[in-house]
Structure 1
């Protein structure tokens, strides 16, 4: 039972940082998924992976929880991408580097 501790990224439908401030402890999958021959559904005997998701306010709380319960873990540090500030009016400036096309 191995766990990942990470800070989730924003969803595509989200412009703010509503659920992206928490740290998440999520268990990795131990057993391979298998295909049900009758219905074609994908199933697994692993109840921890994908179903147990613990949220913490800080990374230190998540690491302390994993150590307290003897869960081997790895911490995935968040990477911040380059933020570009662009206004709608930039589409209509006369000094564009490239011509604007659809």
Structure 2
């Protein structure tokens, strides 16, 4: 069973720049099946429910190595934030004219 080590993306409601924790999740061994009576999905793989949190990537890798887990690390994508000033909205050289 392969473990995935990653840093989750922030939700749309978060605007801060603080770092999130690293997570270790297990990849599913089998596809979920639908119950014919209720339509609910279920799986016989109980490791899918385990989600471990670590302060650093190195801690997560050390845990996987210590427990003999096969793992893969997904590096987070860099966040590109344009530097924009509020006063740029009112410049005379603005591409689109300012209107009320």
TM exceeding 0.5: yes
Count of aligned pairs between the two proteins: 99
Q: Which residue of 2 aligns with 1:45?
A: 44
Unaligned runs of 5+ in 2: none
With structure 1 as the length reference, what TM-score do the two structures score?
0.83
Change (3 A) 1:87 1:42: farther
Q: Which residue of 2 aligns with 1:86?
A: 84
d(CA) in 1 for partners of 2:47 and 2:7?
19
With structure 2 as the length reference, what TM-score do the two structures score?
0.84
Q: Which residue of 1 aligns with 2:10?
A: 10
Higher helix share: 2
Change (3 A) 1:11 1:84: same
Q: Which runs of 4+ in 1 moved over 6 A?
A: none
SS at 1:90 equivalent = helix
Change (3 A) 1:29 1:100: farther
d(CA) in 2 for partners of 1:96 and 1:73?
50
Deviation at 1:17, TM superposition (A): 4.3
CA radius of gyration, larger in: 2
Kept in 2: contact 1:10–1:17 (CA 8 A): no
d(CA) in 2 for partners of 1:57 and 1:22?
5
